[in-house]
Amino acid sequence: MTKNVHQLNRQKRLATPATSPKLLAVKPLVLLIGAVAFAVSVATASETIPIDELRAKAEAGHTWDQFLLGASYANGKGVVKDDVEAVKWYRKAAEQGHALAQLNLGKCYENGTGIQKDETQSVQWYRKAAEQGESAAQTLLAFCYLNGSGITANAANAVRWFQKAAEKGNSDAQTALGLCYIEGRGVSENKVLAVYWFRQAADQGSPVAQYRLASFYDDDTGTHQKMAEAAHWYRKAAEQGYAPAQGMLGLCYENGNGVERDMAEAVNWYRKAADQGVAFAQYYLGLCYAEGKGINEDAIEAAKWYLKAAEQGLAEAQYNVGVAYAQGNGLQKNPLAAYTWITKAAEQGFADAQFVLGLYYATGIAVDKNETKAIHWYLKAANQGLNAAQYNLGIMLAQGKGGTPDLVEAYAYINLATATVKEARDARRLLENGLSRTQIAAGQRRSEALQTKIGQKQAATKATR
């Protein structure tokens, strides 16, 4: 059962759900890392070399000193920070084949730091450094191929360069290669190899890899040992400040998955992630405030966090904001605002919101009564398996609301609704009294076909979570 019970006023002959369907954890999708910022620090040697001496050596053509002088200007060490001067000295060293200078010059071109942004030039310098075996450059060149930055996108070439860098122990490349294997980008999907590369990177402390490794152990069929392993890796990433992992560690504490159940700890980790802008953590923190779990109950705080998540597009949060406006619970009662937020959630496919929006149109709550639109939204929720929507839809179809009565289709949906809606059983008996055996058989076959499609859709949705 969902953690937050929302019930609108029951309308005559129209059911409303006492509770929403169980809300699974909204696991954030971690996309390929993108352009990783490799800041090549000034070598220790530069700190012991007076800047005048370093400049003299650089002007004499010593490549390492040219690189160090460029890094000094880039970081403002021993000199006033000057990105243009940094580019100048990086270029001198790069043109003499210094790999780190080539890497940093490529980064300057990519970011437009000290020079006009030019992704094509960036790729050229990354390639020069990559071909010398510099793993950071190989990784950045791979991302250029993956994202089509400064070069034609080619996922296979991206994987080739990620592989080279990964084999040299570059954790960013290892993580990215794991993600390529997960997503089948430039290589065939292979979860075994994905886990291998995630573990290589995770053991080096990569929080993204630790998070993704945890997700392999965190599933609905996981044993206690698997869940403990998931919690272990979520914690590793969370303690480094990786926000999605902080949110998931909060869920582990709330559900007792791999750790002892502790709502105060759950709230602690939800808040860390929520403060960093993770929408699902903001939503769950709102639920904790709404129910007083792990923290004092506070409807205003609950609504505040729901709203933050809703503004990021999380459908569950949008629905709860709508309900808060409808009930005046934590937000000033505002039927129009309630309708607006519930519509946002419904348009994203959230079944409870689709049901309530159907109810609004069926009864004229906050909007003009429109039976055609009511049927439209009830149908969407009904086809996701929401029994209350199936019942209301069946009643409207039987009565010919929004068109000609369709008793067989009405029977099919009401038959599905009998799983949890008591009124549906009475309605089915009434329908059976007025239907022929042939019509009843047709309605049952239709009901079975609908249930099969609903089950397939639910399985597909679960697989993507």
Q: What is the DSSP string of 68-96?
A: HHHHHHHHTSSS---HHHHHHHHHHHHTT
Output DSSP code: residue 10: P
Which among 368, 296, 305, 294 has a CA at the least distance from the CA of 331?
305
Cα dist from 277 to 165, 270, 285, whole Å: 32, 11, 12
Decide if 125 contacts 12 (C-beta within 8 A): no
Q: Is 47 exposed, middle or buried (0-12, 13-18, 19+ CB in 10 A)?
A: exposed
Query: What is the token pair recorded at 19?
Result: 């509770």
Asked which of 11-25, 44-58, 142-156, 196-210 is least confident by mean pLDDT, the reply is: 11-25
CA nearest to 201, candidates 164, 160, 173, 168: 173
- Per-residue pLDDT tens digits for 408-438: 999 999 999 999 999 999 999 999 999 999 9
With a pLDDT cut of 70, the percent of the chain lying above it is 88
* 3 state SS of 14: strand
Average pLDDT, the chain: 89
What local confidence, expressed as pLDDT, does residue 332 receive? 97
CA distance linking residue 291 with residue 330, whole number of Å: 13
The whole-angstrom distance between residue 5's C-alpha and the CA centroid of its chain comes to 24
CA–CA separation, 221 vs 212, rounded Å?
17
Q: For residues 84 and 278, give the distance between their C-alpha atoms in angstroms, rounded to a whole number.
A: 37
Long-range contacts of 61-70 (CB under 8 A, 24+ apart): 61/96, 63/92, 63/93, 63/96, 63/97, 63/98, 63/101, 64/93, 64/98, 66/90, 66/92, 66/93, 66/96, 66/98, 66/101, 67/93, 67/98, 67/100, 67/101, 67/104, 68/42, 68/43, 70/101, 70/104
pLDDT beyond 50 at 216: yes
CATH for 358-465, among 3.30.450, 3.40.50, 1.25.40, 3.30.160? Answer: 1.25.40
pLDDT at 61 > cutoff 50:
yes
CATH topology of domain 35-153: 1.25.40
Residue with more model confidence, 332 or 28: 332
pLDDT in tens, 272-282: 999 999 999 99
pLDDT, average across residues 432-458: 95
**Better-predicted residue by pLDDT, 44 or 147:** 147
Handedness of CA 429, 431, 437, 439 (dihedral sign): negative
**Other Cβ atoms closer than 10 A to 380:** 22
Are 24 and 462 contacting, i.e. CB atoms less than 8 angstroms apart?
Answer: yes
Contacts of 441 (CB under 8 A, 6+ apart): none
For residues 130-140, give the mean pLDDT: 97
Banded pLDDT at 4 (limits 50, 70, 90): very low
Question: Are the C-beta atoms of 63 and 100 separated by less than 8 Å?
Answer: no
Domain boundaries for CATH 1.25.40.10 within the chain: 35-153
Q: What percent of the chain has pLDDT over 90?
A: 83
pLDDT exceeds cutoff 70 at 222? no
* Greater pLDDT, 105 or 18: 105
pLDDT of res. 9 = 28
Query: Who's near 243: CB < 8 A, 6+ residues apart?
Result: 272, 273, 276, 277, 278, 281
Reported confidence tier of residue 404, pLDDT bands at 50, 70, 90: confident
Residue-wise pLDDT tens digits, 69-90: 999 999 999 999 999 999 999 9
- Residues 188-203 pLDDT 10s: 999 999 999 999 999 9
Predicted pLDDT of residue 283: 98
As given in the structure block, the two tokens for residue 214 are 């945890």
Alpha helices in 256-314 (DSSP H): 263-275, 279-291, 299-311
What pTM value is reported for the model?
A: 0.83
Tell me the average pLDDT across 93-109.
Answer: 97
d(C-alpha 274, C-alpha 244), whole Å: 9
Q: Is the pLDDT at 44 greater than 80, yes or no?
A: no
Q: Are 423 and 415 in contact (CB under 8 A)?
A: no
pLDDT confidence band for 224 (50 / 70 / 90): confident
pLDDT reading at 2 higher than 80: no
Best CA proximity match to 198, nearest among 219, 214, 221, 220: 214
Q: What is the pLDDT of residue 221?
A: 62
